[in-house]
Amino acid sequence: MTDKTVEIDAVTLDSVINQYKFEADFIKIDTQGSEYEILEGAKKSISKGIFGALLETWSYPFHQDQKLIYDVMKIMDDNGYFLVDLNKGGYYRRKTVQNSTLFLGQIGQLDLLYFETFEKFTSTDKSNEKIVKAACLADLYGMTDYSVELLNHYGNFTELIEQILKKRKTLIKNVENQWRVEKIKNLLKFQPRTPPLH
């Protein structure tokens, strides 16, 4: 909960990216409730194309006038991103029960992982470096199918696709109900996302 507010000077992410003339491929924003405002100040950059974003969001207003999950999701959706994964974080526990009591409470915080949609990513010319970075990020976070889809679109990455698929090859060949295999592997902890979403 917010005890007090303090005004400080700040700059936008767009202005920093413009000032230092770099192109970000991935951003992580974990700022205890001001993620929405930072995204508002990065609209030019995310509309131009930052491939991925890992964003802390909140379902409960821990801070005064704080924007919540759906506000952050709307910005990302409006700018051509799709939700890849989420990770539960903190919980809000009302003061009606002592802290020593074992209970979860209400989900308060989620980390959301986003990538640019295929349509957005492929709508502009990309250098080979940008394409490979995007494919590697997708594969790194367990989206091998998306990684291969991007590489296939550009047509000259056969060797890289083979390396990715070889690395991801499992003992299980073609399985009709792949989702069941994935669920079992997750239950047995065979396939954690790497890196984890925190």
Per-residue pLDDT of the chain (198 residues; tens, 9 = 90+): 567 778 888 899 899 988 998 888 999 988 887 888 989 998 998 888 899 999 988 877 777 778 888 999 999 999 999 999 988 777 777 777 776 666 667 777 888 999 999 999 999 999 999 999 999 999 989 898 999 999 999 988 888 888 888 877 654 555 566 656 666 666 555 444 444 554
Confidence (pLDDT) at 193? 47
Report the pLDDT value the prediction gives residue 136, as an integer from 0 to 100. 92
pLDDT at 62: 75
CA-closest candidate to residue 171, choices 158, 185, 161: 185
Identify the pLDDT of residue 1.
59
C-alpha–C-alpha distance, residues 128 and 9, integer Å: 38
The model carries a pTM of: 0.78
Assigned token pair, 129: 């470096």
Long-range contacts (CB closer than 8 Å, 24 or more residues apart) made by 162-166: 164/135, 164/139
* One-letter identity of residue 163: Q
**Which residue carries 């131009």 as its tokens?**
48
CB 137 within 8 A of CB 49: no
CA 80, distance to chain mean position in Å, is 13
Residue 45 to residue 143: CA distance in whole angstroms? 23
Contact 126, 72 (CB under 8 A): no
- In angstroms, rounded to a whole number, what is the distance separating the alpha carbons of residues 68 and 60? 7
Cα–Cα distance for residue pair 34/13, rounded to 1 Å? 13
Return d(Cα 51, Cα 116) in angstroms, integer.
5
